[in-house]
Structure 1
Amino acid sequence: MPLLVLLNMKNFCAKSLGFFFLWFFSCSTPASDPAVRIRIPQDPESLHPLSYGNAIALQLLNLVHQSLLTVDFKDKTIKPLLAVDLPSVRVQDSLSFYTYTIRPEAKWDNGSPITAADVAFTLKLLHSPLLENERWRAQYGFMKDIEYSTASPTTFTITCTGYSPEMKLMTGDFFVLPAYQLDPEGLLSSIPYRLVRQKHDSLALTQNFKKFAAFLSSAAIARDTSFVKGSGPYKLTSWSSGRALLLEKKKNWWAKNLSSQKSGLHANPEKIVYQVVPDNAAALLALKSQQVDVMDNIPLVSFQEMQRDPKYRQLFNFYTPSSYDLIFMGMNGEDPLLKDKATRQALAHLINVPLVVSSLHGGLATPTVGLVHPQEKTFYNSELQPLKFDSQKSIQLLTASGWRKSSSGWEKKINGQTRSLKLNLLYRAGNTDFENMALLFQQNASKVGIPISLQAMESSQINEKLLSRDFDLYFRTLVGNPFSYNLVPLLHTSNAKVGGANVTGFGNRQTDLLLERIAKEERTTEKAILLKELQQKMQEESNMVFLYFQQSKIVVSKKIDSVVVSALKPGYDVLRFIKK
């Protein structure tokens, strides 16, 4: 039966769907297949280097393109990639200067060297008009100019406004793109980077830029195999939307003959197939039948069942690395009902974190007292005690805050009016963990007399409510990393106004100064002291109640050697995989 017919059958039952996937994989996967096959739950949508579709697209783009710097999954250190070394840094008054040299071996697919001009071209793209680059213009707005070295075409200096330790990574953390391929007529080469920034609006009116932007916004740049290529070790060979993408190792990749031990450049798999299987049941069936080598984000029950089964223990390795995905409850500190921190603390004591971790995650989550991961032992405040589940403590705090219990619930005079403590809790629709956690919290609050209304909403709707401050409580995930602790955008009072990222209204002048010092401090000992103080202040205020960091659930075939798992996304280093 033709594959297209199977895909279009409306009444295909779940049981038949499983057999279809077995048929599909077994017919397309020879026994000696050298490809590493990875299940992905959705199509990448777009592989445009500026406006890619989603996190899965970024995962693939990291194999196609390269940046000046990278992060080693094995030890979570920043290392040079296209660059010979980490940048040299000079700070002068209100400016900082970052000097890089590109590896002399680094070449594009056409054999031409990667130079400072390609870096400049990329920075211009990040700030050019008429392109979908708004997030990059905001993120890299601190880069003001780039200066070429007169001694070498591969050496350059990026000039930045201000200074913070994270700039050492950020100045090298963007895909360097091939000017010869994306700007064959050299439109941007004749315009200095600083002028692209200064003349942004006027450039948008020129016919040349309109033509250039139309070309860069075309569908071909996002998915055509002749355009989706960079300096990375892999090229996109085929893409069947909603089914599979094939990446093949380049025979002439510039780093092919470099020692991976010395250079840190790995690219072991000859082929990588990303298999799009949205349905978890079908994906698990393909995994168990060994038609997929790698699967992550496996449902807890399925992961535990496979782990207990001797048959699957012989075929697979099971990994549960921690992640930097932090689950927390946010509270609107500007809401009159929640303005007093004792009220917020009372609500924090109604969250039973140990029960959530054990019952919803099977123990595969890491409780935390703050926004620093407990595994970052230098910066984590291990002396701070977690806010325990304690309904009596909650009642004491409510009473201390001026609330009085009546037959209709908790009441308090606020601005001359009697108000009842009734709250709404937002969480993302379709997230069963959040839904179950919200129900547990609702039950605990009900037992002390606090009515909680639950509202499941799409992420975009939650964003709108948070930015407009139209909310009481919410559950959400904060995605972090171990490299940057610049929390000013998230927690500074200057960003607490409507539309700003500090949606909970956290902070005062004292915490603002603390955040500013953390963002600039380079000395580890001093930074640790400041971060531990911040964690204590945040627990006291309880605008954000930090619950736990998620752990990944990854299964990898024993046909794969050299597996390195990590807290960094996607949770494993595919470049190190060796398929037997």
Structure 2
Amino acid sequence: MNKVNYLIVALCICACAPNNSSVDRSDNKKDSFDLVAHIAVEPDGLHPLNSASLNTSYVFESIHKTLLKVDLETLELIPEIAKELPIQLDSTNFRYIIRKGPVWDDGSPVTAEDVRFTLLLALCPLNNAPQKRLTLAEFVDSVRVESSNEIQYSTQFQFAGSNHIWSDLPLLSKSFYDPQNVLDKLTFAQCKEKDFEFSQEVRDWFLNFNSRKYSHNPEYICGLGGYKVTHWEEGQFITLEKKENWWGDSSTSVYNKTNPDAIHFKVISDEQTTTAAILNKEIDVAYSLSSAQAHDLSKNENFKSSFHLNKVDIFGFTFLAVNSRPSATGNPVLSDPKVRLAMSYSTPYDAILETIYNMGTRQASIVNPKRKYYHDKLPMPKLDLTRADSILTSSGWIDSNGDGIRENKINGKMVDLRFDIGFADNPSFRSIAELISMSFLEVGIATELKAIEANAMFPKLLSQEFDVFITSLTGDGGFEDLSPILHTDAWKHKGFNFTGFGDSITDQLLNNIKKTFDERGRNQLYRDLQEKFNEQNTFIVLFATQRKIAVSKKFNNPSCFAQRPSILLGSLELTDK
């Protein structure tokens, strides 16, 4: 991205610059320690609004705070920077009061202006976060500042999950990001108006805000959390250091613990290298072990004596993403619903689970079985090659030339039943891809396997230029708005609905879910949606994801949770041994 040095650097650094004396290494306290956490893929950035990778969320837990938070245990909304849960004034208006105490790194208090500023930036089309904006623009009306510590938040219509957005928006310091008050005249109405003509000054501001400076340069990464990013050696590690005299030090909340003096996120993509680092005790916490790693380590005596292995069922699933709406130059065979149905019957689900050492569970739809509205009456998809053969034959896909590959006429031309299967280049996904490819071939479906670097996976999916991709989606335990991945608007705008799922009926179900406050009624709508979901087979769900986390036994409280980030690094305490 282009860089525009628009803000006055001295003013920017004043608000959030790291204090060189923030970590006192001369104090040899008994409980003084650094922590090393392994991540397999480097975050796409640490921009407070525009970076969205899973590993970004691990870092954000330590450096940012939000107005509300989803409690890791109860999965209920709880206040974080808010004094209390919002006061509902009517069906579309809520009052938030900011609690006293939280301050930015320059000592200035968090204000209502900061809260308004945060949501305004997330909603503005000039901000480089189209998926986030697409969700917010649908229902957010505005935020009005009532006093220095009070806002009125308004939505355009009744939305059952309207307050959950505040658990996913890191609060931003207006004085740090906009010291010259460039955006003071920017309004919510302007940000929502189609084709609004923003001034060049505002455009330049956002060009600077979207730049790499605010996602990779530690001097410009500013948050309310107890840790500050002090060093980022790209491809190797990200270091966070505990802030001195942090406003949350006196808090009793587990979310405000800052026990390690420093947290080092060590990037190692190779599994063998990661395993060696764990066994050599160079790593204290490994967030996401592969199933093969977890299986092998669980049998290693050295590992068992030094680490806990936590297997956590999370709000995520691994699936075949099937591009049902290929571009004019794309592969047309997957637009046939009969082909997609046959694929679902040709997928070796049980063999795939064995490949990952059964460290996962089956689920019949996109909804996690932990949810109250999971449709447990839906039939579980299963391998049935005879059924797949019958579906393909009856719909005109025949192997007429005896080469083992079926053909059919599409738009007047004979086309082979052939497509690519992409996957992130790691041993687990490669094994899954090979199993699926061999099974598909048994019913006359030819595939070519194409590995891709993990950090290039989502750009590829969002481009919609693919045939089939093995990938995973991870959510959280809060209000489940499936529109970003299932609504047809998210396909039109190249959002996370990269499979082309949906029609007018499913769009209406998605809209009604958001507007239904009655839990029983909303749960039935979720079940109706799951039935429609299974009819289209643009997502062929392979298994519900299980996160495997290794935690050193030198800590006495290695609790792990389904909700991201799964473990609170700042809360870890050394044992007395």
Which interval holds the TM-score relative to the shorter structure?
0.7 to 0.9
Inter-partner Cα distance in structure 2 for 1:556 and 1:392: 46
- Structure 1 segment 183-202 matched on structure 2, within 5 A: 183-189=178-184, 194=189
User: Is residue 575 of structure 2 the alignment partner of residue 576 of structure 1?
Assistant: no
CA distance in 1, matches of 2:186, 2:442: 67
Tell me if structure 2 keeps the 8 A contact 1:233–1:249.
yes
Cα shift at 1:348:
1.1
CA contact (8 A) 2:417 2:446 kept: yes
- Contact between 2:424 and 2:457, CA under 8 Å: does it hold in 1? no
SS in 2 for 1:284: helix
Could you say which residue in structure 1 is the equivalent of 2:514? 519
Residues 121 and 396 (structure 1), Cα distance of their counterparts in 2 relative to 1, 3 Å cut: closer
Give 1:154 deviation, angstroms: 0.5
CA distance 1:513–1:401, change in 2 (3 Å): same
Letter in 2 for 1:250: K
Q: Secondary structure at the match of 1:296?
A: strand
* Secondary structure of the corresponding residue to residue 288 of structure 2: coil
Show the counterpart of 1:10: none
Residues 320, 468 of structure 2: 8 Å contact kept: yes
Amino acid corresponding to residue 179 of structure 2 in structure 1: P
User: Which stretch shifts more, 36-45 or 156-165?
Assistant: 36-45
Distance 1:312 1:579 in 2: 18
Tell me the secondary structure at the aligned position of residue 388 of structure 1: coil
Structure 1 counterpart SS, 2:289: coil
Q: Which residue of 2 aligns with 1:398?
A: 392
1:97 aligns with 2:93: yes
Task: Map 1:355-434; keep pairs closer than 5 Å.
Answer: 355-359=351-355, 361-376=356-371, 378-404=372-398, 406=400, 408=402, 414=409, 417=412, 419=414, 422-434=417-429
Match runs of 1:114-263 below 5 Å:
114-126=110-122, 132=128, 134-141=130-137, 142-149=139-146, 152-189=147-184, 194=189, 203-206=198-201, 209=202, 212=205, 216=209, 221-222=214-215, 226-260=219-253
Match of 1:320 among 308, 311, 320: 311
Q: CA deviation at 1:211?
A: 7.0
Indicate the SS of the match to 2:200. coil
Q: Kindly provide the CA deviation profile for residues 464-514 of structure 1, in whole angstroms up to 9, marking residues without a partner as x.
A: 886787655443323333324333343345566695765545444433333
- Aligned-residue offset at 1:559: 0.8
C-alpha distance in 1 between matches for 2:266 and 2:332: 50
CA distance in 1, matches of 2:408, 2:44: 53
One-letter amino acid of the structure 2 residue matched with residue 392 of structure 1: T
Is 1:489–1:501's contact at 8 Å kept on the other side of the alignment? Answer: yes
Amino acid at match of 2:434: L
Q: Is the 8 A contact 2:32 2:261 kept in 1?
A: no
Cα contact 2:476–2:564 (8 A) shared by 1: no
- Taking the aligned partners of 1:84 and 1:148, their CA distance within structure 2 comes to 16
Distance 1:291-1:501 versus aligned 2 partners, 3 A rule = closer
Question: Which residue of 1 is the match for residue 285 of structure 2?
Answer: 294
Q: 1:566 aligns with which of 537, 541, 561?
A: 561
Contact 1:336 1:414 in 2 (8 A): no
Equivalent residue of 1:246, what SS? strand
Determine the structure 2 residue equivalent to 1:48.
47
Matches for 1:5-16 after TM superposition, within 5 Å: none
The one-letter code matched in structure 2 to 1:254 is: W
Shift of 1:304: 2.1
- Over 3 Å counting, the alpha-carbon distance change for 1:225 and 1:401 in structure 2 is closer
Alignment of 1:106-121 (within 5 A): 106-121=102-117
Letter in 1 for 2:527: K
1:284 aligns with 2:278: no
The DSSP-based 3-state class of the residue aligned with 2:148 is coil
Cα RMSD (Å): 3.6
Opposite residue 382 of structure 1, the aligned amino acid is D
CA 435–292 in structure 1, closer or farther in 2 if over 3 Å, else same? closer
Q: Structure 1: how far apart are the matches of 2:505 and 2:194?
A: 39
Displacement of 1:553 after TM fit? 1.7
Query: In 2, are the aligned partners of 1:342 and 1:400 still within 8 Å (CA)?
Result: no
Give yes or no for contact 1:116–1:148 (8 Å, CA) kept in 2: yes
In 1, distance between residues paired with 2:198 and 2:491? Answer: 34
| CA distance in 1: counterparts of 2:293 and 2:495, whole angstroms | 40
Aligned counterparts of 2:493 and 2:121: Cα–Cα separation in 1:
31
Q: Distance in 2 between matches of 1:532 and 1:313?
A: 42
Q: 1:65 to 1:529 in 2, by over 3 A?
A: same
Query: What TM-score, normalized to structure 2?
Result: 0.81
The answer for the alignment partner of 2:349 in structure 1 is: 353
After superposition, what is the alpha-carbon deviation per residue over 1:169-206, rounded to whole angstroms, capped at 9, x for unaligned?
11453121222333333343465554576699655423
State the Cα deviation string for residues 342-380 of structure 1 (Å, max 9, x = none). 443222111111110112x1110121111011222x121
Q: Is the 8 A contact 2:93 2:155 kept in 1?
A: yes
Please say which structure displays the higher CA radius of gyration. 1
Q: 1:342 to 1:244 in 2, by over 3 A?
A: closer
DSSP 3-state at the match of 2:533: helix
| Stretch deviating more after TM superposition (153-162 or 125-134) | 125-134
Aligned residue in 2 for 1:23 = none
Q: Taking structure 1 as reference, are residues 111 and 455 closer, same or farther at Cα in structure 2, changes over 3 Å only?
A: closer
CA contact (8 A) 1:521 1:527 kept: yes
Amino acid at match of 2:249: K
1:440 matched to which residue of 2?
435
Deviates more, 1:67-76 or 1:456-465: 456-465
**CA distance in structure 1 between the aligned counterparts of 2:47 and 2:108, rounded to whole angstroms:** 22
Q: Distance in 2 between matches of 1:533 and 1:114?
A: 43
Q: Contact 1:425–1:475 (CA<8 Å) still a contact in 2?
A: no
Contact 2:291–2:428 (8 Å) recurs in 1: no
Q: Report the CA distance shift for 1:175/1:301 in structure 2 as closer, same or farther (over 3 A).
A: closer
Q: Is the 8 A contact 1:490 1:501 kept in 2?
A: yes
1:15 equivalent in structure 2: none
Q: 1:227 to 1:336 in 2, by over 3 A?
A: closer
Contact map agreement 1:36 1:272 (CA 8 A) in 2: yes
CA distance in 2, matches of 1:226, 1:473: 41
Q: Counterpart in 2 of 1:449?
A: 444
Give the structure 1 partner of residue 7 of structure 2.
Answer: none
Could you tell me how far apart the structure 2 residues matched to 1:505 and 1:215 are?
Answer: 33
Higher relative contact order (CA 8 A, sep 6+): 2
User: In the alignment, what sits opposite 2:541?
Assistant: 546
**1:491 aligned to which of 486, 490, 505:** 486
Aligned equivalents of 1:178 and 1:61: distance in 2? 15
Contact 1:129 1:204 (C-alpha < 8 Å) held by counterparts: no
Following superposition, the deviation at residue 222 of structure 1 comes to: 4.4
**In 2, are the aligned partners of 1:424 and 1:455 still within 8 Å (CA)?**
no
Q: What is the rounded CA distance, in whole Å, between the counterparts of 1:485 and 1:53 in structure 2?
A: 17
In 1, the alpha carbon distance for the partners of 2:570 and 2:362 equals 31
Matched, 1:34 2:33: yes
